[in-house]
């Protein structure tokens, strides 16, 4: 399943991609789709089932499933 992770910082995307790589997947970095954010941040596209314990950190904002009609929210990081 194609998924998109969005982040609070570009560094968050870099780190996420690195953790994906350690799990054996090459995630693809891209500008975050306009529908998901008014900010001009970086997102990572990946297919491995999302596991918050292995992939999440404080810079992760949310994870969406890419579907025919658009995006479905799978995970939203909690903020203080």
Partner 1 sequence: MEKIKSHLGIILTGLIVGAVSVVLVAFGNPLNMGFCIACFLRDIAGGVGLHRAAAVQYIRPEIIGLVLGALIMALAGKEFKVRGGSSPMARFVLGFCVMVGALMFLGCPLRMVIRLGGGDGNAILGLIGFILGIFIGTLFLKKGFSLKKSQPQNRVEGTLMPAVAAALLVLVAAAPAFLFFSQEGPGSMRAPLLLALAGGLIVGALAQRTRLCMVGGIRDVMLFRDWHLLMGFLAIFAAVLVGNLIVGAAGARGGFTPGFAGQPVAHTDGLWNLLGMVLVGLASVLLGGCPLRQLILAGSGNSDSAVAVLGMVVGAAFCHNFGLASSAEGPTGAGKIAVLIGLAVAAAIGGLNLNRKK
Shortest distance in whole angstroms from residue 43 CB to partner 1 = 10
Return the closest-CA partner of residue 26 out of 4, 53, 43, 48: 48
Q: Where are the alpha helices (DSSP H) in 6-56?
A: 10-22, 52-55
Nearer to partner 1, 51 or 58 (CB): 58
3-62 binders of partner 1 (CB under 8 A): 8-12, 14-15, 18-19, 29-31, 34, 38-40, 42, 57-59
What is the edge-to-edge ordering of all strands in the sheet holding 42-46? 28-31, 42-46, 3-7, 60-67, 70-76
Residues in touch with partner 1 (CB under 8 A)? 8-12, 14-15, 18-19, 29-31, 34, 38-40, 42, 57-59, 79-80
């Amino acid at each position: 399943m194609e998924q998109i992770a969005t982040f609070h910082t570009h560094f968050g995307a870099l780190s996420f991609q690195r953790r994906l790589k350690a799990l054996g997947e090459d995630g693809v970095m891209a500008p975050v789709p306009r529908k998901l954010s008014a900010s001009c941040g970086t997102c990572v596209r990946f297919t491995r089932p999302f596991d918050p314990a292995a992939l999440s950190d404080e810079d992760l904002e949310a994870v969406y499933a890419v579907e025919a009609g658009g995006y479905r929210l799978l995970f939203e990081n909690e903020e203080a």
